[in-house]
Amino acid sequence: MPKHILLFALVIFFGCTKPFKAKESHVNLNIIETQTPQTQNVGEDIVSQVKCSAENLCYQFTNFQVNETSEHEYEIHAIGTYPNHPTACMQAIYYKDTTVKINAAVKGQYLLHFLNNNVLFKTDTVEVN
């Protein structure tokens, strides 16, 4: 009898589990404009105004992926989400105005490389005094 219960429990457990499907995928958004100050005080954040876009209104901005590639040099990607399930998307360009902050802890020249799908869009240079 206990063997049958265990076998039944295993069949129910493994037979009823569905593979996990994420509701949305993380994707790169296009950076289409940046405004970064040319100078900044040491110890203050460098704040860049960034405008992103995507091809329809199902896209949503979530964050920036910022990687320090060498001292005072950063690669910046705009990350968003897009639904994995079939959905009707409004056919209008999605725009998001936002900011990205880089801590300027020490003096020097900072290079902010803004990328779209690993292709350089623009480099902003900031002198930190």
Boundaries of every domain in the chain = 21-128
Q: What is the pLDDT of residue 23?
A: 85
- Dist. CA 104–CA 97, nearest whole Å: 22
Burial class of residue 88 in the structure, from the number of CB atoms within 10 Å of its CB (0-12 exposed, 13-18 middle, 19+ buried): exposed
pLDDT one-digit tens code per residue, 91-108 = 999 999 999 999 999 999
pLDDT one-digit tens code per residue, 29-78 = 999 999 999 999 999 999 999 999 999 999 999 999 999 999 999 999 99
Q: What is the pLDDT of residue 86?
A: 77
Q: What is the pLDDT of residue 22?
A: 72
Q: What is the pLDDT of residue 105?
A: 93
- Dist. CA 53–CA 28, nearest whole Å: 10
- pLDDT band of residue 5 (cuts 50, 70, 90) is low
- pLDDT band of residue 21 (cuts 50, 70, 90) is low
Q: What is the mean pLDDT of residues 97-124?
A: 97
Give CA separation, 41 vs 71, 103, 105, 110, in Å. Answer: 17, 10, 9, 12
Q: What is the pLDDT of residue 11?
A: 47
